[in-house]
Amino acid sequence: MFYRGRRLRTTPVIRSMMRETELSARDLILPIFVVEGEGVCREIPSLKGVCHYSVDMLDGLVAEMRECGVLSCILFGIPDHKDACGSAASDENGVVQRAMRRLRELCPELYIIGDVCMCEYTDHGHCGILDEHGYVKNDETLLHLNKIAVSYARAGADMVAPSDMMDGHVASLRAALDAEGFVNVAIMGYSAKFASSFYGPFRDAAGSAPSFGDRKSYQMDPHNSREAMLECQLDVQEGADIIMVKPALSYLDIIVKAKERFDLPLAAYSVSGEYAMIKAAAAADLVDEYRIMCESALSIYRAGAEILITYYAKELAQAMKKGDIG
């Protein structure tokens, strides 16, 4: 006798009952790009369907998020002024800080995450303070990152997410937040963040491309999986509340290993290049965008991610409501 697996695929009800991977809108995080100015809701050319928002134009976006059940976001700021030390990033009246306060007014239950980095704010586009040779100085950069994280906490952030890949950044931020009384502000580490070619559209959207060189001296080599586990372990030891793998689709093996090895909640960031490739293929009528969006997200969850940061957050939430995934 052979096994008849098709018996459990005969109807939509039994197929749904047999699903091994569960998805929920509550697990989705929407990236939001905020800019200076007023009346700005401008589509980003390299990220079709994603916009730059000025603080006064967040109302409509929040209404859309509420409607589809996405109640978590991560903020990225694009300032008018940039300098060598990214001083606008920790400005108490900076664009991200004002956006956080506005979002809290619009939707008190919204879970607000602040991406802690300097690349959008430095005039050289690197993620920290440079020495005379153009090398990012680790420990001095940590001091600046601490200021950014504390300013976000004061503005109402529920969580901070250091994406700089400096050594010791989670421990440094945890100590700084605790010293200011923000013991309940969580940290999501960009634990295994690779020096990937999939970040191109984001760097265009955030104006954060390096003006020289690359970020290979601090972001991870895509060849390395053992090192990724070490970086995750260090974040766990330093006090991260959530660990993350970034990018997602080309690093599903890393997600699998992290899920097997660590007990902390595991996030994955489906980055701008992943999103843009689907959009471009769909625009050329090569793929069904909706189905590819769903299948790609499902693969990330199936690999072990419990939280997904994605530019498709609203659309995926709607797909879950329809029962197409989840």
Choosing from 82, 193, 279, 314, the catalytic residue is: 193
Choosing from 82, 246, 257, 314, the catalytic residue is: 246
Any catalytic annotation for residue 257? no
Q: Do 225 and 254 meet the contact criterion of CB atoms below 8 Å apart?
A: yes
Any catalytic annotation for residue 216? no
In the chain, the amino acid numbered 177 is L
SS (H, E, C) the chain: CCCCHHHHHCCHHHHHHCCCCCCCHHHEEEEEEEECCCCCEEEECCEEEEEEEEHHHHHHHHHHHHHHCCCEEEEEEECCCCECCCHHHHCCCCHHHHHHHHHHHHCCCCEEEEEECCCCCECCCCCCEECCCCCEEHHHHHHHHHHHHHHHHHHCCCEEEECCCCCCHHHHHHHHHHHCCCCCCEEEEEEEEECCHHHHHHHHHHCCCCCCCCCCCCCECCCCCHHHHHHHHHHHHHCCCEEEEECCHHHHHHHHHHHHHCCCCEEEEECHHHHHHHHHHHHCCCCCHHHHHHHHHHHHHHHCCCEEEECCHHHHHHHHHHCCCC
In the chain, the amino acid numbered 207 is G
List the catalytic residues: 193, 246
